[in-house]
Structure 1
Amino acid sequence: MAFLSRSILALSVALLSNNVFAQKQCDVELRHGLIITDDIIRIVDKGQTRVQINNNNQLFIRGYWIDLSDDESKVLEQFSSGIRQTVPELVNLATDGVNLGLSAIEHVVEGMTDKESEVLKTQLQYVERALMDKFKRGDDFFFIAPQSLSKIDDFFTKDISKKIHSAVHGSLGAILMSLGDAFKSREGNIEDRMNDMSQRMDIISSEIDKSLQEKARQLELKAAEYCECLNALDVTESRLQAIVPGMVNFDLVQIKS
């Protein structure tokens, strides 16, 4: 089962590579959720929109429009632009990292047996659900939940990693059971099928390693940039709170160090 160990190791490295981001990132916490579309930014608390920014220049707090002067609107626009420059890319990096592992698992087991598809689908749904609770993107929106960005590695290396490992073991268990049934009924050559699975594991592991090296470089380049952007966003938010005191109740960015 050496091929299985190599595959699980490669998937673990995929998740651990997120440590590069966490170690170089300053201690930043998003205290509320964010939903971002082309025209609207929503600051969300307990499933409810508390602050809404339309077209970067209209501000609503608890559904009430806040009248701003031209100069005050410029501060709002800077705050809105800061969110748009940082959060969508962060969501993309987070979801791409996990999707790499999920895609790899699917390719490894694809076509090996008819029995693994439902097992794999069910277990990967748990992985995807955990991911979407924190990060989600669609054709026209991005979502990020309240969380400490400096501890994002814990989410990937503990929660998501555990669920991915369960999916791997569950799907491979179904494959081995199917191969055992085929052997007993003399349907097919179990040795050839095992060799085929081993080769698939090796190919996928190699492809994962290549992708991980590139992703690690991307994360290293972005880490310092994120820290600077979020610090600047916090400063702009403080300026906006001075203009609109109601924004203090929905403080979004908190820098702890």
Structure 2
Amino acid sequence: MKRVIHLISTLALCCGAAQAATKCDVELGHGLIITDDVIRIVDNGQTRVQINHDEQLLIGGYWIDLNSEEIQVLKEYSLGIRNTVPELVELATDGVNLGLSAIEQVVESMSDKEPEVLKTQLQYVERALMDKFKRGDDFFFIAPQSLSKIDDFFTKEISQKIHSAVHGSLGAILVSLGDAFKSREGNIEDRINDMGQRMEIISREIDKSLQKKAHQLEAKAAEYCECLNTLDKTESRLQAIVPQLNKYDLVKIRS
């Protein structure tokens, strides 16, 4: 199935004049699920607004009749969403899951098995990430959030959870390795020190990776500032045509 990302290029001009240095405080007031054919504005897992094929509008499950001019405004709105959100989701999720897999592999190489505490902690990390950003083979999801504070999510929340996973599993590894150390040649203290050093290296590399991710997202959000402003204006035009949409205000830009 073709990726939604291919559709994004159709509205690239709205961001053409954007400057990476531009700052804007943007919030998404509702969650979004985007597929090739459908955009859903959701709250608590419930679809509130649905746009089919960029030109058909349903609110609360009811079809909204639009004339040809109104459909053009809807299409601008729909394509504006497609032009920004999927790339942000891809950027947010790309590499993080690979990083989690790398942690598991390193820990398994130390202890011949994955401590249960690590497995549990990494599940918390994955859940926190998927609560904010998620993508599959044919969809993108983004939760309601401040796009100008995405970097905080990675450098604080996700970083803290990953550190807890790495260091929290250290004790479990030492316990699981106790008997193995006794049966092997070599100094036990040297082996433990080596393991501690390797865990510290992992932690530092994770921090570097998350800092890089945060900077990428911050730059992308700034790059999209003009585009998000345009999307907000288009949303206002659409709300004037369909007042029921005021209840589901998606783009909120704070000065």
Report the TM-score range of the alignment, normalised by the length of the smaller protein: 0.7 to 0.9
Q: Which moved more, 1:164-173 or 1:196-205?
A: 196-205
- Structure 1: runs of 5 or more not aligned: 1-22
Any residues of structure 2 matched to 1:43-122 within 5 Å, and which? Answer: 43-96=41-94, 98-99=96-97, 101-122=99-120
CA distance in 1, matches of 2:101, 2:216: 20
Q: Tell me, yes or no, if the aligned pair for 1:134 and 1:145 is still in contact at 8 Å.
A: yes
Query: Sequence identity, in percent?
Result: 79
Q: Tell me, yes or no, if the aligned pair for 1:41 and 1:80 is still in contact at 8 Å.
A: yes
Q: Tell me, yes or no, if the aligned pair for 2:155 and 2:211 is still in contact at 8 Å.
A: no
Letter in 2 for 1:147: Q
Match of 1:187 among 184, 192, 205: 184
2:117 pairs with 1:148:
no
Letter in 1 for 2:131: D
Question: Measured at CA, do residues 24 and 175 of structure 1 come closer, stay the same or move farther in structure 2, by a change above 3 Å?
Answer: farther
Partner SS for 1:56: coil
Any residues of structure 2 matched to 1:86-235 within 5 Å, and which? Answer: 86-96=84-94, 98-99=96-97, 101-183=99-181, 185-189=182-186, 190=188, 193-194=191-192, 197=195, 215=213, 218-219=216-217, 221-235=219-233
CA distance in 2, matches of 1:248, 1:79: 14
Question: Measured at CA, do residues 156 and 63 of structure 1 come closer, stay the same or move farther in structure 2, by a change above 3 Å?
Answer: same
CA distance in 2, matches of 1:154, 1:219: 10
CA distance in 2, matches of 1:227, 1:49: 27
Letter in 2 for 1:187: R
Partner SS for 2:94: helix
Letter in 2 for 1:75: V
Q: Tell me, yes or no, if the aligned pair for 2:57 and 2:64 is still in contact at 8 Å.
A: yes
CA distance in 1, matches of 2:146, 2:224: 13
Question: Measured at CA, do residues 160 and 203 of structure 1 come closer, stay the same or move farther in structure 2, by a change above 3 Å?
Answer: closer
Q: Which moved more, 1:68-77 or 1:95-104?
A: 95-104
Question: Measured at CA, do residues 162 and 205 of structure 1 come closer, stay the same or move farther in structure 2, by a change above 3 Å?
Answer: closer
Question: Measured at CA, do residues 204 and 164 of structure 1 come closer, stay the same or move farther in structure 2, by a change above 3 Å?
Answer: closer
CA distance in 2, matches of 1:38, 1:26: 29
How far 1:230 sits from its partner (Å)?
1.1
CA distance in 1, matches of 2:22, 2:118: 35
Residue correspondences, number: 234
TM-score, with length taken from structure 1:
0.79
Q: Tell me, yes or no, if the aligned pair for 2:117 and 2:169 is still in contact at 8 Å.
A: yes
Q: Tell me, yes or no, if the aligned pair for 1:33 and 1:146 is still in contact at 8 Å.
A: yes
* Deviation by residue 1:133-185 (Cα, 9 ceiling, x = unmatched): 111111111111111222223322332222111100122222222333323x3
Partner SS for 1:111: helix
Question: Measured at CA, do residues 167 and 210 of structure 1 come closer, stay the same or move farther in structure 2, by a change above 3 Å?
Answer: closer
Partner SS for 1:38: coil
TM-score, with length taken from structure 2:
0.79
* Coordinate RMSD, CA, aligned: 2.8
How far 1:213 sits from its partner (Å)?
8.2
* Deviation by residue 1:60-95 (Cα, 9 ceiling, x = unmatched): 011111111111111111111111111111111222
